[in-house]
């Protein structure tokens, strides 16, 4: 996975965008009647200017004519807007790489999350089965104690529990504990 785009790069792109003329920048198309003798391959159409919301000049009355919204030469743009245009190809490439990196990280995170959920689900299922088995064994143990108590009487039962506990403490290997 590629490295994250540095904040300084994003800040520089953002600064160029903020300093440039407000958009939208709309292409103004032109065409010719030359029948393409030079074989320019443009199909007799090309963008000859950009139309912006703000005019670059106004008439003596302060009003803008329709053509004053057309910027056909770089000199009509502010330097900041020209720098924005000049950096656009690199900036867009950098931003696309950052989007690709973040998309890849998101997909990896989703895979990891899915695996973690699957592992959790499996562990939860096993834990539920173990709890059910413990509950079953507790019932079985309580039933055995009650049967032993009835069979031996109360005094003998206490003595038997004591001896069983002592036996399990002295000989834990024979009970299966620790294996």
Span 57-113, pLDDT tens digits: 888 888 888 878 777 777 777 778 888 887 887 888 888 889 889 988 999 999 999
The domain ranges of the chain are: 7-31+40-103
Q: Which residues lie below 8 Å from residue 173, measured CB to CB, with a gap of 6+?
A: none
At 125 the pLDDT is 92
The overall longest dimension of the chain from CA atoms, in Å, is 120
Quick one: what percent of the chain has pLDDT higher than 90?
11
Name the residue among 89, 98, 83 with its Cα closest to residue 15: 83
Does this model's pTM top 0.95?
A: no
Average pLDDT, stretch 46-51?
Answer: 74
Residue 175 — very low, low, confident or very high, per pLDDT cuts 50/70/90? Answer: very low
Determine the pLDDT at residue 74.
73
In the prediction, which pLDDT does 38 show? 60
pLDDT band at residue 171 using 50, 70 and 90 as cut-offs: low
């Amino acid at each position: 996975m590629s490295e994250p785009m540095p904040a300084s790069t994003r800040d520089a792109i953002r600064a160029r965008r903020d300093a440039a003329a407000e958009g939208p920048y709309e292409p103004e198309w032109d065409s010719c009647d030359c029948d393409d003798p030079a074989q320019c391959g443009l199909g007799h159409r090309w963008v000859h200017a950009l139309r912006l919301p703000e005019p670059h000049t106004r008439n003596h009355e302060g009003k803008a004519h329709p053509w004053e919204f057309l910027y056909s030469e770089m000199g009509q743009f502010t330097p900041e807007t020209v720098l924005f245009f000049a950096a656009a190809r690199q900036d867009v490439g950098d931003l696309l790489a950052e989007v690709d990196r973040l998309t890849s990280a998101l997909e990896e995170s989703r895979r990891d999350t899915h695996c973690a959920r699957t592992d959790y689900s499996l562990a939860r299922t096993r834990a539920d089965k173990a709890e059910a088995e413990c509950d079953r064994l507790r019932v079985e143990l309580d039933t055995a104690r009650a049967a032993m108590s009835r069979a031996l009487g109360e005094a003998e039962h206490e003595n038997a529990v004591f001896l069983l506990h002592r036996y399990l403490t002295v000989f834990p290997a024979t009970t299966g504990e620790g294996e």
